[in-house]
């Protein structure tokens, strides 16, 4: 007689490993892009004004490719089945984030942020040509805000769902909450910089780049914790109680 229990357990384990792999891939891509742009900035002797301005630099392919890869992984992420009556779900939030990050990649920010280092020809993308530079830049900024907003929902609502059945779950929840609030703070500060024109006054400090990098690292850290790739960090936080 076939070991139906064993087959079922193997299928469950494979599904869990698949979930963990997707989570780790999303997190790894989150770490990769800012680090790649930091390495580029150190190589040429000047950091980019923002992560989005990478589109108008020789890092264009890295920028677009990484964001599209994140969009694919987020779109494929199913997460946990929602409870009856849930309005905010893993799958729905992941797909909102996927569409938003794809728009960030396909609708670049305004070329006025073109860097002084050797750059590519800033000819428009298909969507940028159709919508025009001004509207394209606006959609880009809104989509970036939606993307990080969706991530904050993950870390402050979805990732912390479930019973706290031990110190590691409690520690993970604390990490998720911290990362969620870091993202909200960073995006609020970016908005303040744009609203007050401080981004131009403090351009030499590259404040937008650093705030975006911190927010992206927070995003990546949460997904890596959710993918069980940062167990030493979780145990360290648990030991602090």
pLDDT of res. 1: 44
CB–CB of 159/171 below 8 Å?
A: no
The two structure tokens encoding residue 26? 């999303």
pLDDT of residue 7: 42
pTM of the model: 0.85
The token duo for 27 is 């997190």
Angle between helices 90-106 and 133-153 (to 10 degrees): 150
CA distance 222 to 113: 30
Lowest mean pLDDT among 28-32, 50-54, 163-167, 235-239: 163-167
Give the number of C-alpha atoms closer than 13 A to the C-alpha of residue 110, restricted to the C-beta side: 7
d(CA 198, CA 112): 16
Q: For the CA atoms of the chain, what is the radius of gyration?
A: 20
Give the model's pLDDT for residue 84.
Answer: 67
Query: For the segment 107-159, what is each residue's pLDDT rounded down to a tens digit?
Result: 988 765 444 444 445 567 778 888 888 898 899 999 999 999 999 998 999 88
pLDDT tens digits along 31-67 = 999 999 999 999 999 999 999 999 988 899 999 999 9
pLDDT attached to residue 68: 96
Could you tell me how many residues make up the chain? 241
Q: What is the pLDDT of residue 111?
A: 66
What is the pLDDT averaged over residues 150-177? 90
192 pLDDT exceeds 50? yes
Sequence ranges of the domains in the chain? 15-239
Q: How does pLDDT run across 203-237, given as a tens digit for each residue? A: 889 999 999 999 999 999 999 999 889 989 999 99
């Amino acid at each position: 007689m076939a070991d139906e229990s064993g087959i079922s357990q193997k299928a469950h384990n494979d599904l869990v490993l698949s979930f963990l792999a997707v989570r780790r891939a999303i997190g790894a891509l989150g770490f990769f892009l800012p680090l790649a742009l930091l390495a580029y900035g150190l190589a040429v002797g000047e950091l980019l004004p923002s992560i989005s301005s990478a589109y108008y630099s020789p890092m264009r392919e890295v920028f677009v490719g990484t964001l599209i890869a994140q969009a694919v992984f987020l779109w494929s992420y199913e997460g946990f089945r929602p409870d009856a009556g849930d309005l905010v779900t893993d799958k729905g939030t992941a797909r909102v984030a996927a569409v938003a990050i794809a728009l960030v990649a396909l609708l670049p920010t305004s070329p006025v942020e073109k860097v002084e280092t050797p750059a590519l020809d800033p000819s428009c993308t298909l969507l940028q040509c159709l919508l025009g530079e001004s509207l394209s830049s606006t959609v880009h900024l809104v989509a970036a805000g939606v993307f990080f907003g969706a991530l904050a929902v993950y870390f402050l609502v979805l990732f912390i769902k479930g019973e706290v059945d031990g110190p590691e779950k409690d520690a993970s929840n604390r990490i998720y909450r911290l990362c969620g609030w870091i993202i909200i703070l960073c995006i609020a500060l970016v908005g303040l910089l744009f609203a007050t024109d401080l981004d131009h006054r403090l351009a030499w400090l590259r404040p937008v780049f650093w705030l975006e990098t911190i927010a992206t690292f927070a995003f990546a850290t949460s997904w890596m914790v959710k993918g069980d790739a940062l167990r030493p960090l979780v145990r360290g936080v648990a030991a602090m109680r």
